Amino acid sequence: MGRVSKAKRVRIQNLKNLQNSSVQISGNAAQQQEDDESDTEYLPGLEIRATFVELEAKGIIPHWEDEPEEDSDGEEVDEEAEAEVHDDATFLTFTSRMQEAQLLLEAQEHEAEALRKRPKRYLGNSERTRYRNAAKRRKIQAEGKQKFLTDFWKKSKPELMVIPEAIDISSTEELSDVEEVEVEVASDVVSMNYFVFYNYLTGLIDSSHA
């Protein structure tokens, strides 16, 4: 007959304990429960348990003690089940230790960050650096050897335009029709030249600001 593992022995022992704590079942307990139609608490599994108890009493199947014996009598142990239980316990222990170590490292990092006076990365925007850069800029700008981008956006003062003197066409003397036409043409030419000159200056100013 093959060896029985510890797990199976414990399972059979639990069945025996459950049977002993319930009503005592005799040889004809199954027949009595079938005939008793008013018994609402009938459990079919009790028949199987009673059969196991009877077989143990008759010596057909081995009788197990209340507590499983050690392996001193040569019984084989379910080594695979024990190895799985051992591996699970080892894994849980390892996981908990790793989690504790991670929390400890995070706490140490936070403490080190709180005590750090200077940032990890220097951005070049400290007060001392800004003052030094401003002094260099003023020195270069005073020498006039280099122009900065901000110089191109400075508005230049527009030059004063010289307006040509208007031709005095009022005269006490009477002018002929031809002379009046010549005076009007000359006045139109002067006005046109003034308009062209004004547009030219305006274009120069706009291009310097762009």
Q: What are the tens digits of pLDDT across the range 44-97?
A: 556 667 776 776 776 666 655 555 445 544 445 566 666 666 677 788 888 888
**Cα(106)–Cα(101) distance, integer angstroms:** 9
The dihedral region occupied by 58, where left means phi > 0, alpha psi between -120 and 50, and beta the remainder, is alpha
In DSSP notation, 36-53 reads -TT-TT--THHHHHHHHH
Residue 1 lies in a domain: no
Whole-Å CA distances, 122 to 39, 117, 118, 126, 128 = 86, 12, 8, 9, 13
Q: Considering the entire predicted model, what is its pTM? A: 0.22
Residue 146 lies in a domain: no
| Position 175 confidence tier, pLDDT thresholds 50, 70, 90 | very low
Decide if 39 contacts 33 (C-beta within 8 A): yes
> What is the tally of structural domains in the chain?
3
Residue 158 lies in a domain: yes
Residues 194 and 159 in one domain: yes
Residue numbers of the domain that contains 168: 151-209
